[in-house]
Amino acid sequence: MSPRLRVAILGSTGSIGRQALDVASRFPDRIDVVALGAHRSAVLLTEQACRCGVRHVALGDPDAAAGLSGLPAGTARGVGADSLLELAALPDVDVVLNALVGAAGLRVSETALRAGKRLALANKESLVIGGDLLMPLASPGSLVPVDSEHSAIFQCLLGEPRAALERIWLTASGGPFRTRSRSELASVRVEEALAHPRWTMGPKITIDSATLMNKGLETIEAHHLFAVAYDAIRIVVHPQSTVHSMVEFSDGSVKAHLGPADMRLPIQYAFSHPDRWGAPAPPVDFTAVGHLDFEPPDLEKFPCLSLALDAGRAGGTLPCAMNAANEVAVEAFLAGRVRFTDIDSVVETVMATHATVPVSSFEQLERVDAEARGLAEQTAREIAGRTA
């Protein structure tokens, strides 16, 4: 029997991290969870460490460190942003699952790739912000996507000549407001936006799915992951979420990846690749599906998607500024400070102000991120003042 895969799960207390631990619990003879990291959920991180018997834990937020009590004897404990980077480079780790939320995951992805680990990437912002710098660090097979759509594309391309790739069809559920008008979206409540019709995800990505910003971010991610031009990526709304994405080839053939709407499948494949293990979720009953619908996205009703696509095509530092503005705007909406339809207003203002230049370093991207966040915070406050 081959040795167990030694895994570090960063973002273990979030939705993806918790599902990854479920996958690991199903295959104790194949997966050894060596390290767990989180941003601030110290109590849950401690519970996970005790349950899994991990050898290393790290908490990014020092202010939450008091909650890291009762760890198993001998467990190494790190606090602060650098402690997460240390987990990503541990000698006794083979695979790093980066499930951190937002721009905070960028340096983890860089560190894991530089350390020669397999990066199971669930943090799409890493590539949205720093794809120009990260992809040159990735050797063949060292970066396996965890997003359901990108995992689908990755699998559809296995064994196919890249020169034959004609088009990527990136599927979107359409979110909870697919059938509502733009005017109706202004009064959307937070709990409505968090009620995704198909997927169970964390709050940030759920709001991004509701605004369709998530599909814009995924388009930028696909551009970097698969080295395809933006004109060769088509977004299609597929409410059933049975087809996770499709690849069209030069001869007109199309490969589609289908399966249940369960994130444990792409998580598990990122661990098992190139092998396949037993299914972690019930299979799709195609006799009960009934029909599969496809329609174009409504760019006027969901301007966040257009803004993200504009940022991707412009390139340089604009995707970084766009992403930072979106993170701030989503936080403001979740806190009840701005309306749902104000999210795209914040993003648009920051993008219009940003002076785009070519990406040159991770340090440059961190400065752009900080500046964009400051402007986004100011814009959100101004919008809140006008609508109070």
pLDDT tens, position by position, 258-287: 999 999 999 999 999 999 999 999 999 999
Number of H helices, E strands in the chain: 16, 11
Calpha distance 223→217 (Å, rounded): 10
CB 139 within 8 A of CB 77: no
Closest CA to 314 of 371, 264, 355: 355
Return the beta strands (E) in 219-369 as ranges.
Answer: 233-237, 243-249, 254-258
Going by their DSSP bridges, the two strands 95-98 and 165-172 should be labelled as unpaired
Neighbouring CB atoms inside 10 A of 266's CB total 26
pLDDT at 344: 97
Provide the mean pLDDT of the chain: 95
pLDDT at 365: 97
- Mean pLDDT across the stretch 354-375? 97
pLDDT band at 388 (very low <50, low <70, confident <90, very high): low
Closest CA to 135 of 228, 242, 198, 232: 228
pTM (whole model) above 0.85: yes
Neighbouring CB atoms inside 10 A of 150's CB total 25
pLDDT band at 195 (very low <50, low <70, confident <90, very high): confident
